[in-house]
């Protein structure tokens, strides 16, 4: 609320009072605040602008609750996945990243008072390397899709080739972002349906694990196919599934990207996300984004000769603020706080919890799928072993099935019936995770049975 009293501060976020302003203006030697804007073109200054009126905090909260209430209920059964999965996030994750020393800081340009951010980023890099089986990780990029696009640009730089290959089924959002970046960089993009289609014109082969339709891929033959033609192999892996699945690094990946958002907190309508980016050491100096390194205090510093351990942003000669138009990427601010959240969740789960959660997710999803497949009129066509997502074909067309579920207060899986894969014909893609309550699965089974009875 903007106060009408000229002597008061204009808003709780702006501390200076009228008396403060008068004193400051006098010291500066100008009559009023408007005079400080004298350089702006006079004819365009202080234009008419139509904004809704200011709200005091209680009214603002009420308005936002109203907006929140206009979304579907957050507690209704919902089986959407397709790139964003509801996970069990430990309470400590949100609590710890809420600490304002983390949340209200910025890029660690002054390492002496940014050790929290830097050490947490080092923890993040360590965790990503362990999960992916890679040598080095950066401190995180925007999201899985832009990370994968950056991986393609890296591959084009190091192979000096001008086309990248995406193995279907890959998330359409990832494919589109790769195309956006590739077009800008003058690179071609081939969507291929078999690794046999890769050739020596390709800078890299990109494959998703599990793939867009939920199937677990055997990455090793893909890596071999890419390497046989001198291309890099880029695995786009779900880090949660890597609690159970073979690390892509072991299978021969040169770069691993992934989406960290699901392990950091609620879906937040898809953002902020967190783009994982890990690679072999030989690509370290080609990597985009911030990288944190471990070092010691300078011997001639003031540490009393202890030379304690600390962390710094490093290998900055790759980055835009040093290298400008010759940088490996333009990335500056990314998703540092989300990387901390991701790290805390993974570390809270620990070695046993990561595996147990992934197994629980697998079991819950397979149990739900087999219950659906047992319903008359339903099938769950698969394309091989799968992790947490499965195709459901029902007695009515896919869009109709989704609409009938919605009418029963259930969010259906994504309609993938337009995809080319034969298993996806007339199908919805359902996700069931370790965080899906039993009652939601029961409600789904009940609703599907009912819909089957109507058809």
Q: Does 350 bind another protein (CB under 8 A)?
A: yes
Q: Which is nearest to 389 in space by CA: 123, 171, 188?
A: 171
By the 8 A CB rule, do 181 and 149 touch?
A: yes
Segment 135-194, which members bind another protein (CB under 8 A)? 136-137, 139-140, 142-146, 153, 171, 173-174, 176-177, 179-181, 183-186
Strands (E), 324-363: none
Please identify, using beta-carbon distances, which residue of 24 and 455 lies nearer to another protein. 24
Instruction: Give min distance, CB of 386 to another protein, in A.
Output: 8
Q: Does 83 bind another protein (CB under 8 A)?
A: yes
Q: Does 67 bind another protein (CB under 8 A)?
A: yes
Q: Cα–Cα distance between 316 and 37 in angstroms, integer? A: 37
Please identify, using beta-carbon distances, which residue of 18 and 199 lies nearer to another protein. 18
By the 8 A CB rule, do 152 and 404 touch?
A: no
Segment 405-444, which members bind another protein (CB under 8 A)? 406, 411, 414, 434
Question: Count residues contacting another protein (CB under 8 A)?
Answer: 207
Q: In the set 87, 161, 202, 364, which binds another protein (CB under 8 A)?
A: 364
Instruction: Give min distance, CB of 311 to another protein, in A.
Output: 6
- Residue environment code for 64-81, b if the CB has 16+ CB neighbours within 10 A, otherwise e: eeeeeeeeeeeeebbbbb
Terminal Cα distance for the chain, rounded:
57
Please identify, using beta-carbon distances, which residue of 199 and 411 lies nearer to another protein. 411
Q: Would you put residue 223 in left (φ > 0), alpha (ψ -120 to 50) or beta? A: alpha
Instruction: Give min distance, CB of 118 to another protein, in A.
Output: 9
- Residue environment code for 35-44, b if the CB has 16+ CB neighbours within 10 A, otherwise e: eeeeeeeeee
Q: Cα–Cα distance between 248 and 245 in angstroms, integer? A: 9
Structure token pair of residue 30: 């100008």
Strands 232-237 and 202-209: parallel
Q: Does 297 bind another protein (CB under 8 A)?
A: yes
Q: Which residues pair with 390 in a beta bridge?
A: 430
Segment 97-126, which members bind another protein (CB under 8 A)? 98-117, 119-123, 125-126
Burial of 46 (0-12, 13-18, 19+ CB in 10 A): exposed
Q: In the set 5, 70, 376, 418, which binds another protein (CB under 8 A)?
A: 70
Q: In the set 8, 24, 228, 374, which binds another protein (CB under 8 A)?
A: 24
Q: Does 334 bind another protein (CB under 8 A)?
A: yes
CB neighbourhood size of 229 (10 A)? 15
Q: Cα–Cα distance between 317 and 332 in angstroms, integer? A: 13
Segment 265-284, which members bind another protein (CB under 8 A)? 265-273, 284
Please identify, using beta-carbon distances, which residue of 24 and 200 lies nearer to another protein. 24
Please identify, using beta-carbon distances, which residue of 438 and 450 lies nearer to another protein. 438
Q: Does 355 bind another protein (CB under 8 A)?
A: yes
Q: At what angle do helices 438-454 and 336-373 cross, to 10 degrees?
A: 40
**What is the maximum span of the chain, computed from C-alpha positions, in angstroms?**
84
Q: Which is nearest to 336 in space by CA: 128, 105, 177, 164?
A: 105
Instruction: Give min distance, CB of 401 to another protein, in A.
Output: 14
Instruction: Give min distance, CB of 356 to another protein, in A.
Output: 4
Segment 26-65, which members bind another protein (CB under 8 A)? 27-30, 33-34, 36-41, 44-47, 49-55, 57, 60-61, 63-65
Q: Which is nearest to 292 in space by CA: 151, 127, 80, 68?
A: 127
Q: Does 14 bind another protein (CB under 8 A)?
A: yes
Q: In the set 212, 277, 362, 390, which binds another protein (CB under 8 A)?
A: 362
Q: Does 332 bind another protein (CB under 8 A)?
A: yes
Please identify, using beta-carbon distances, which residue of 130 and 199 lies nearer to another protein. 130
Contacting range for another protein; rule: CB under 8 A; set: 89-97, 192-200, 372-380, 390-398: 89-97
Please identify, using beta-carbon distances, which residue of 230 and 399 lies nearer to another protein. 399
Contacting range for another protein; rule: CB under 8 A; set: 88-96, 190-198, 199-207, 442-450: 88-96
């Amino acid at each position: 609320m903007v106060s009408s009293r000229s002597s008061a501060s204009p808003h709780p976020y702006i501390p200076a009072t009228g008396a403060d302003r008068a004193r400051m203006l006098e010291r500066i030697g100008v009559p009023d605040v408007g005079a400080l804007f004298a350089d702006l073109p006079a004819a365009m200054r202080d234009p008419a602008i139509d904004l809704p009126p200011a709200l005091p905090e209680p009214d603002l909260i009420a308005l936002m609750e109203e907006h929140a209430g206009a979304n579907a209920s957050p507690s209704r059964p919902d089986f959407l996945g397709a790139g964003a999965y509801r996970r069990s996030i430990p309470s400590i994750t949100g609590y710890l990243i809420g600490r304002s020393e983390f949340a209200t800081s910025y890029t660690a340009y002054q390492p002496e008072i940014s050790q929290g951010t830097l050490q947490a980023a080092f923890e993040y890099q360590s965790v990503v390397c362990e999960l992916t089986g890679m040598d080095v990780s950066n401190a995180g990029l925007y999201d899985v899709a832009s990370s994968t696009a950056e991986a393609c640009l890296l591959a084009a730089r190091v192979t000096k080739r001008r086309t990248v290959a995406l193995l279907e089924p890959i998330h359409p959002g990832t494919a589109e972002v790769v195309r956006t970046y590739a077009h800008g960089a003058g690179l071609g993009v081939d969507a291929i349906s078999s690794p046999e289609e890769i050739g020596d014109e390709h800078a890299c082969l990109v494959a998703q694990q599990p793939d867009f339709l939920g199937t677990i891929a055997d990455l090793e033959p893909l890596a071999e196919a890419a390497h046989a033609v001198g291309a890099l192999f880029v695995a786009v892996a779900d880090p949660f599934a890597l609690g159970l699945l073979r690390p892509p690094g072991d299978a021969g990946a040169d770069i691993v990207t992934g989406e960290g958002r699901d392990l950091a907190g609620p879906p937040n309508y898809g953002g902020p996300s967190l783009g994982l980016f890990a690679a072999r050491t030989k690509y370290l100096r080609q990597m985009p984004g911030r990288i944190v390194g471990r070092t010691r205090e300078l011997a001639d510093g003031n540490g009393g000769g202890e030379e304690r351990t600390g962390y710094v942003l490093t290998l900055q000669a790759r980055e835009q603020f040093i290298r400008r138009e010759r940088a490996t990427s333009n990335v500056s601010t990314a998703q540092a706080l989300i990387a901390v959240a991701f790290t805390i969740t993974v570390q809270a789960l620990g070695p046993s919890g990561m595996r147990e959660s992934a197994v629980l997710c697998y079991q819950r999803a397979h149990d739900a799928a087999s219950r659906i497949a047992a319903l008359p009129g339903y099938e769950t066509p698969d394309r091989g072993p799968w992790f947490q997502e499965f195709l459901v074909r029902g007695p009515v067309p896919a869009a109709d099935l989704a609409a009938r579920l919605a009418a029963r207060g259930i969010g259906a899986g994504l309609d993938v019936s337009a995809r080319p894969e034969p298993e996806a014909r007339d199908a919805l893609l359902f996700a069931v995770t370790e965080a899906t309550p039993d009652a939601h699965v029961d409600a789904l089974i009940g609703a599907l049975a009912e819909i089957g009875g109507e058809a």
